[in-house]
Structure 1
């Protein structure tokens, strides 16, 4: 009998037992502490769990540790939710906690025996890990200042809730070909990066004042490195029917024979956009509207940092940058205390691993901003700290070949010190492998984890890629420079690139990066 392929194994595991049904096993394993079936470990993903790298584990420690990802619906954490995730971080996760690019929060060093208590604590504050990973619809991303931004095109909170309700614990959607990522936004800055979502909706206001949503499908990174295709416009009432139809098409026709060809974008490539639209129209009772494609804000300007007056009288929202998403238990508790001391109640995570405090009394913004600065959360961040993404990295991720979080912090500190007067918005990514979790292919300067030769040995290192950009149909992916280096050289390598740009004739870094590729 021939050996199962990876895709065959995953499909068999899902058919043998639905991922949603593994919860009872999680509780059983937690109680009995018996050895966990490897196939159940795969199913644990449906509850946000991944086994983690042993890189930071003591040699004599045989414990099976997990990373746990918690979804933040509409990206939101209120005071009780913030306290809950801080408690989980301190009590069960060795004080680890990171914000992700999908507006989730994740922990490390989680043990199976602690999961019942963790799940109970999350339930108290209406948070969940269900469908935080696995071959399912992931957390629906949306603009963190939705509903409070005076410049927004429209409020999409009701739409985001409708989509989340449709996806939430939906057993009919618990066996998709691969992960599936949806976003909806009424943001005038297009901050959800629709170009790399499987399915997305961006609001526009027509000449007559009507609100429509631009529909894009098939975006992604890593093995599905593809800018999403624009397929038309719909009204607000048509958004959920489109979500349902596209999801069902993906479930039925997505590739289940090759995991590397199983995303929605691969189906678009196989069929072509015209056929996809034709199949979609067979599954809905309306026709997508054709109209001129709207202009999009460039990636480097899609941010909400600083203090902004809210639509709510007497309130402001405050956009903040943290180092590569890493906040930890101390940061969470201190953030909670700052909110409480200054009359604020809610934060929202961003798709760039940062956060927005949504309801600060305007009279308190100066005190709050000062207190945040004291814990290294910046309201007016440097161009280097503002847009630096970093993935989980080698310390915890089994796929990573290079460490990321510490390097990202060192890189930011180095560049801030070396170029204190630099003002141009730049984006960075420190990514530990080729899977693109930190979006290295869409930023100005990407560090892509790989093995490099050093002193006749292959060691952890990075490849430098430059010139990634998101701006609708003007988007492009970063290109390789051919430069590979060990982590210890990373700060100097990036410094040299910026120095070279400053001494060039280019007016902006993107033109420099795409016009002068090193090699």
Structure 2
């Protein structure tokens, strides 16, 4: 009998017992009465749980530890929730806590025995880890300043809430072919990143009022594609499109290979016109045909600093968290600062940062000073503002190198080396060839890889990826340069790139890198580091 493929195994275990049903087993495992079945470990993902790397475990520690991802709908965390998350981190997660690129937060060193208490604490403050991972609709990404930004095109708060209500734990979508990512935004800066979502809706001013541009099939990793434009719909039809496209993906997605199971792969196989026509037939109406909108360049999609809110007397404050790492103390300190200055709520961003939504105008400067005392910056340097990092080898089984600490050290080094640099720059440190930290859409990306050094030894390091940018139809993925560096060479490599840019005509780092991605002399100069 032929050996089961990875895809066949996952499809079988999802049919035998769906991911949501594993909760009862989690509670039994927590009692310690029986061994955890390996196939249930896969199902744990439906509750935001992944096994983690054993690098930081003591040799005599045989505990099975997990990473736990908590789903933050619309990225929202209030003061009570901040305190709850801080206590979960300190009581059960060795004080770990990191913001993610889907407006979630995640912890490490979580033990199965503690999950019932953790789930109960989350529930008590209106939080959950359901559908934070697994072959399901993941957290909907959206603009963190929706409803309060002076320059927004449309307030999508209620719309996203309505769609979350439809998708949240929906048993109809408990078994999709693979993960499925939706984005909805009315942001004037297009911060949601519609180009890399499986399905996205972007509010656009048109001669027919505000319409939502619908894009499909975007993604990174094995589905590295810029999303394709289907057309426009009115706000009242957005939920209908979500329902229909999600059902089409569920029923027709390619399940024979895990690497070919994302929505973009189905669209590749069918062709966009067939996919569009089939979707329109199911919807019972056609997409509205309008010219494509002009998208903001990726490095300019940010909301840092102090801004007047649409709510009179209030400001919102965009904050940078170095490497997305905040920890238990950071969450607790942040809650204290919010209460001190009479603010109540933050929203996580898709760049591992956050916005404080409702600061009384007269308190903003003092709040910013207090945040700086806990290493959170309101006016961050370009290097700290947009430096993404994945979980890294400390906790991730797939990572080959450390990223989180390296990202923090890199941003600090570049700040000191180039204190007057004020242009937009986006950076990513990714611990393996996958794309959790989005290395292909930033100016300078590092992707973890193993290679032979000059002595012929196999070593772990990074491959340099240059010139990625999201900008609507002008988007492009970064180019793999073939240059491989050791972690000790990260600082000098970035220093070299910035120095060469400063010696150029300085028309923007994104443009400079795009123009030099295939420049042999430029590539050779990096190789010589």
Q: Normalising to structure 2: TM-score of the pair?
A: 0.97
CA displacement, residues 65-114 of structure 1 (integer Å, 9 cap, x when unaligned): 00000000111001111111111001000000000000000000000000
Which residues of 2 match residues 249-268 of structure 1 at below 5 A? 249-268=248-267
1:215 aligns with 2:214: yes
Give the CA RMSD over aligned residues: 0.9
Please show how residues 407-426 of structure 1 align to structure 2 within 5 Å. Answer: 407-426=406-425
SS in 2 for 1:282: helix
Contact kept in structure 1, 2:80 and 2:125, CA below 8 Å = yes
In structure 1, the residue matched to 2:229 is 230
Give the drift of 1:480.
1.4
Give the secondary structure class of the aligned counterpart of 2:31: helix
Query: What residue number does 2:85 align with?
Result: 85
Matched ranges for 1:94-133 at <5 A: 94-133=94-133
The answer (yes or no) to whether the contact 1:137–1:182 under 8 Å persists in 2 is yes
- For the 8 Å contact 1:400–1:432, the answer to whether it is kept is yes
Using the alignment, how far apart are the partners of 1:314 and 1:510 within structure 2?
37
Q: 1:402 and 1:221 mapped to 2: Cα distance? A: 20
Report the Cα distance in structure 2 between the residues aligned to 1:435 and 1:216, rounded to whole angstroms: 23
Could you give the per-residue CA deviations for residues 352-401 of structure 1, whole angstroms, max 9, x where no partner exists? 00000000000100100000011110100000000000000110000111
Task: After TM superposition, list the pairs within 5 Å mapping 1:50-61 onto structure 2.
Answer: 50-61=50-61
Alpha-carbon displacement from aligned partner over 1:288-317 (angstroms, at most 9, x marks no partner): 000111111111110000000001111000
The 8 Å contact of residues 424 and 509 in structure 2, kept in 1 or not, is answered as: no
Once the two structures are superposed, the pairs formed by residues 79-478 of structure 1 within 5 Å of their partners are 79-207=79-207, 210-454=209-453, 455-478=455-478
Q: Residue by residue, what CA displacement relative to the aligned partner does 1:14-61 show, whole Å, maximum 9, x if unpaired?
A: 011111100000000001253210000000000000000001111110
Partner Cα distance (1:150, 1:500) in 2 = 38
Classify 1:33/1:408 alpha carbon distance in 2 versus 1 (closer, same or farther; 3 Å). Answer: farther
Look up the match of 1:492: 492
Query: What is the alpha-carbon distance in structure 2 between the residues aligned to residue 88 and residue 367 of structure 1?
Result: 29
SS at match of 1:205: strand
Q: Deviations over 1:201-250 (max 9, x none)?
A: 00012235x11100000000010000000110000000000000000000
Q: 1:417/1:29 Cα in 2 relative to 1: closer, same or farther (>3 Å)?
A: same
1:102–1:351: 8 Å Cα contact kept in structure 2?
A: yes
Query: Counterparts of 1:147 and 1:506 in 2: how far apart (Å)?
Result: 36
Asked whether the equivalents of residues 307 and 319 of structure 1 are also in contact (C-alpha less than 8 Å), the reply is yes
Given that 2:321 and 2:376 are in contact with CA atoms closer than 8 Å, whether structure 1 keeps it comes out as yes
CA distance in 2, matches of 1:6, 1:228: 27
SS in 1 for 2:282: coil
Partner of 1:45: 45
Deviation (angstroms), 1:505: 3.4
CA distance in 2, matches of 1:363, 1:158: 29
In structure 1, the residue corresponding to 2:470 is in which secondary structure?
A: coil
Change (3 A) 1:137 1:468: same
SS in 2 for 1:127: coil
Shift of 1:502: 1.2
Give runs of ≥4 in structure 1 deviating > 2 Å. Answer: 452-456
Distance 2:427 2:373 in 1: 24
* C-alpha contact (below 8 Å) 1:307/1:317 kept by paired residues: yes
Contact 2:465 2:478 in 1 (8 A): yes
Q: Any idea what the Cα deviations from partners look like across 1:313-344, whole Å, max 9, x if unmatched?
A: 11000000011111000111111110010000
Query: Following TM superposition, by how much is the alpha carbon of 1:506 offset from its aligned partner in structure 2, in angstroms?
Result: 4.8
Size of the aligned set, in residue pairs, is 518
Q: Which residue in 2 is equivalent to 1:481?
A: 481
Cα separation, 2, equivalents of 1:99 and 1:443? 18
Instruction: Decide which moves more: 454-463 or 58-67.
Output: 454-463
In structure 2, the residue corresponding to 1:11 is in which secondary structure?
helix
Gap regions ≥5 residues in structure 1: none
Check whether the contact 1:52–1:66 (CA below 8 A) recurs between aligned residues.
yes
Task: Give the 3 Å change call, closer, same or farther, for CA 356–257 of structure 1 in structure 2.
Answer: same
Distance 1:212 1:504 in 2: 41
8 Å contact from structure 2 (residues 298, 471) kept in 1: yes
Q: What secondary structure is seen at the aligned counterpart in 2 of 1:470?
A: coil
- State the distance in 1 between where 2:493 and 2:452 align: 16
Q: Which residue of 1 aligns with 2:527?
A: none
What is the CA-CA distance between 1:511 and the residue it aligns to?
A: 2.0
Contact 1:46 1:131 in 2 (8 A): yes
Q: Report the CA distance between 1:133 and its aligned residue.
A: 0.3
